Chain A
Amino acid sequence: MNAIRKRDTQGFFRSPLGYVYTGAFLTIMNLYFFAICVLSSSSDTGSVFSNMLIVFLFLMPILTMRLFSEEYKQGTDRLLLTAPVSVWEIVGGKFLATISVLLVALACTLPWIVIIAIFGEPAWASIIGCYIAVLCASAVFAAMGMFLSSLTESQLIAAVLSFALFLGLYIADMLSYSFDSDSLLGAVLSWLSIFTRYDSFMSGQFSLGNLIYFLSLTGLFLYLTARVLERRRL
């Protein structure tokens, strides 16, 4: 598992993609930070982080599209499938590699905290909560994107499918606002919505239920990916 994680993380930074990805993420997020925190002299990182998931919505497909599609295309899935490793190790390794890249991108946002600490009083609990929340929610996206990548040989199709799925989830979230929250549909949509749960994290409420929701959704898609890999042998 470690070998696969290492190779995939490095593989990401072997091509310009890794740098372009991190660069694009940081450019957009720094603009948000500048607009929300610096210009209005606010220490409200929650507002910055609530936009971060939207940015990930656009950028995550680029990160996950290659995970399996590229292996299929190059025929290297043969190497992985005939190695003495289980499909779980393959899936786990690739997932952790994606998370590692996310962590690199997130680590680059740490100067914000330093800036806030110099000029004001950071709300530590809220900041830590934000980081945990963005990690959990983007892990869900990563698992979904990886699952879609395992379905096709084409990176482009994988990217388009993931993008459509993420955008669909986002629209479902917006729909949940237009329905009355007393109605069944509204309640179901808002219960299912990743974004609603994410925002409740951002407002500083920690909820074990939300954490379990993110983790189990991630687990579900990791499981589905492993099943797809096993199905490929059939």
Chain B
Amino acid sequence: MIQVKGLTRRYGNLAAVSDLSFSVSEGEIIGFLGPNGAGKTTTMNMITGCLRATAGTVTVDGADIETDADRARKIIGYLPENPPLYPDMTVDEYLEFVYQLKKCTLPYTEHLTGICDMAGLSDVRGRLIRNLSKGYRQRVGLAQALIGDPKVLILDEPTVGLDPRQIIEIREVIRSLGQKHTVILSSHILPEVQEICDRILVIDHGKIVADGTPAQLSERVEGAEQLNMTIEGEPAAVLGVLRAIPGVSEAVVTVEDGMKCVYRITAESGADIRRAVFDALSQHRLAILSMQQVELSLEDIFLELTGAEPAPEQTISTDETQPEASKQKKKRRLFGRKRGDDK
């Protein structure tokens, strides 16, 4: 459905996107994942024809975005990062304008009612966009992209600025859209793309660093690397025990609290040390109050992938109310491995 070949965008000497190539097949929901400034929006702007590529081509359903722009644009519905709304119009007036602008030939009343129902706008159709909350504006933006029933939907951070309930609703909408449309969405929130998308493209510094289904990507990152643990016992003794465990490369105290300190244990790469830690501590009758795998945020993963220094300190969210020793693995991490380990 979408073919992107060698897409490059330069601003002066700075390459915002360099030599990006991928293709998306019909009905696929694909997620661009990357930190801010990775080139996600630039890529989307180029796919929609908003921005001209320095080099490379984009073909949408056989229509080149440069040479066959009119046909390609009719196939694409685009929701930019800031929804392109006119605050002085009502929702109905705005959608009517977009309907005419896109030279849509579908039956007007039916089409718009359908879209408003889907985007949850039926109650606010007569209101001025200026007076709508951020969540509703986002929905109007989504409704705008849906007008004309485009085969391809490009959504730039569709859930940004929404409250949790709205995020879930929008995700539902996107998932249902995926049955009829090809969707490209971008996000810097890992669980989000993991949940909605059939396939994930990880972009950093304008390059694709990983490409695959969520399952494929998580296969690459089995095993623990860092643990946050609350252990009851004399810190010196605990540290001695921890450092003696094979596979542990480092153990430090991160929160001092008398006999109940919080420790950060780093494993040698690839090793799952959780069982070994449990065995060693129970042997020395040191109670584990909590154990948690450090979830790498996307930023950290990128820092790892790009070989930079990791973030100095992470927020520790140990569950202090849970007294008995518990092993818990909250969420599976994606591609948390150091660069070069897996290839």
Contacts and interface: CB of A to CB of B under 8 A. Distances in A.
Interface in B51-105: 51-52, 69-71, 73-74, 76, 78, 80, 82-89, 97-98, 100-103
B86 A74 contact: yes
Nearest to A2: B100
B157 to A, nearest CB: 13
Contacts of B82: 75
Nearest to B98: A79
Contacts of A2: 100
B74 A81 contact: no
B27 interface: no
Contacts of B50: 78, 81-82, 233
A14 B50 CA distance: 28
A3 B52 contact: no
Interface size class of B (residues with CB under 8 A): 20 to 34
A209 interface: no
A211 to B, nearest CB: 33
Given A2-B100, A7-B97, A78 B86 contact: no
Given A82-B73, A85-B101, A76 B52 contact: no
A77 B144 CA distance: 14
B105 to A, nearest CB: 12
B78 A78 contact: yes
A77 B86 CA distance: 11
B97 A14 contact: no
Interface in B120-162: 144
A84 B103 contact: yes
Interface in A72-93: 74-86
A15 interface: yes
Contacts of A234: 52
A3 B97 contact: yes
A14 B73 contact: no
B80 A75 contact: yes
A11 interface: yes
A82 B78 contact: yes
A221 B79 CA distance: 31
B43 interface: no
Given A14-B89, A234-B52, A75 B84 contact: yes
Interface string A146-186: 00000000000000000000000000000000000000000
A60 B175 CA distance: 49
Interface of B: 48-52, 69-71, 73-74, 76, 78, 80, 82-89, 97-98, 100-103, 144
Given A2-B100, A82-B73, A233-B51, 5 more contacts: A3-B101, A14-B88, A74-B87, A79-B98, A85-B103
Pairs A-B, 9 closest by C-beta atoms: A3-B100, A79-B84, A76-B84, A84-B73, A75-B82, A3-B101, A233-B52, A14-B88, A84-B74
